[in-house]
Amino acid sequence: MGLTPERLDSVCVFCGSSDAADPGYLADAAVLGRALAQADLRLVYGGGGVGLMGACARAAHEAGGKVLGVIPDFLKERERRLDVVETITVSSMHERKQIMFDQSDAFVVLPGGVGTLEEIVELLSWRRLDLHGKPVVFHSPGGFWDPLFALFQHTVDHKLTPPAFMGSWRTVERIEEVVTTLRSYPRPGPDRDETVVKLA
Ligand code: AMP
């Protein structure tokens, strides 16, 4: 555990399921889907056809990219499962998150609501416990995620979270920077001695 994966083949995207979101956020989600396809990176996502999730997955699929959706049976209708992409149906939210985690080498967070928050706080809490070293990149247009980062900093200021936690992720303002930022993470390789690459 605590390892940065050697390979970057699959990228999990956590993002909102609302169709009422800012059209700019929906457009950016589609830009990311196409960018992942063009970079030959498989998209792993929540399996729905709604909101930023649907926009990202449809764009990746239409651009010829590989897509894996993971959706709980009880959400298939509500989140309008995308039936044109490979989808694993699970029975619980916990199972969904575990499979999304296991199937991914890195994570991207786009604007989202409480569901997205739940997913990324768990992911970062696992990072804080050194359970993984997978890259995490936030797309934060206009500082969208700044209130969350301020809350994290608040817990650091009160000595409830170690300061190193604030280095557990990277943030980009422009969606076009996501793939290059993922690729810029140091990785263990044949020409490097270290087996563990600490990102924090
Ligand atoms: P939201 O950001 O609220 O639009 O939700 C984004 C996605 O997170 C949706 O697909 C939700 O089904 C999903 N989600 C919400 N809570 C959880 C959870 N506890 N485990 C896994 N996925 C969740």
Across all residues in the chain, what is the average pLDDT?
93
Q: Say if ligand 1 is within 6 A of residue 76 CB.
A: no
What CATH number labels 10-183? 3.40.50.450
On the question of pLDDT at 1 being above 60, the answer is no
Q: What is the mean pLDDT of residues 8-20?
A: 98
- The pLDDT value recorded for residue 189 is 63
Q: Answer for the pair 4, 185: CB distance below 8 angstroms, yes or no.
A: yes
On the question of pLDDT at 200 being above 70, the answer is no
Q: Which one of 17, 70, 120 would you pick to mutate in the ligand 1 pocket, going by the greatest count of ligand atoms within 8 A of its CB?
A: 17
Q: Say if ligand 1 is within 6 A of residue 72 CB.
A: no
Q: What is the mean pLDDT of residues 20-27?
A: 98
Q: Which of 95, 104, 102 is nearest to 67 (CA)?
A: 104
Q: For residue 9, count other CB atoms closer than 10 A to its CB.
A: 13
On the question of pLDDT at 101 being above 70, the answer is yes
On the question of pLDDT at 197 being above 90, the answer is no
Closest ligand 1 atom, residue 112 Cα: 2
On the question of pLDDT at 27 being above 60, the answer is yes
> What is the rounded distance in angstroms from the CA atom of residue 167 to the CA atom of residue 165?
5
Q: Say if ligand 1 is within 6 A of residue 17 CB.
A: yes
For the entire predicted model, the pTM comes to: 0.93
Distances (CA, A) of 183 to 90, 131, 134, 137, 160: 30, 21, 12, 11, 31
Instruction: Kindly list the domain boundaries of the chain, sorted by start residue.
Output: 10-183
pLDDT tens per residue, range 73-86: 999 999 999 999 99
Q: Say if ligand 1 is within 6 A of residue 47 CB.
A: no
Share of the chain above pLDDT 90, in %: 89
On the question of pLDDT at 194 being above 80, the answer is no
- Please give the angle made by the CA atoms of 13, 16 and 22, to the nearest 5 degrees: 120
pLDDT tens per residue, range 104-144: 999 999 999 999 999 999 999 999 999 999 999 999 999 99
On the question of pLDDT at 196 being above 80, the answer is no
Query: Where is average pLDDT lowest: 11-15, 58-62, 76-80, 155-159?
Result: 76-80
pLDDT band of residue 6 (cuts 50, 70, 90) is: confident
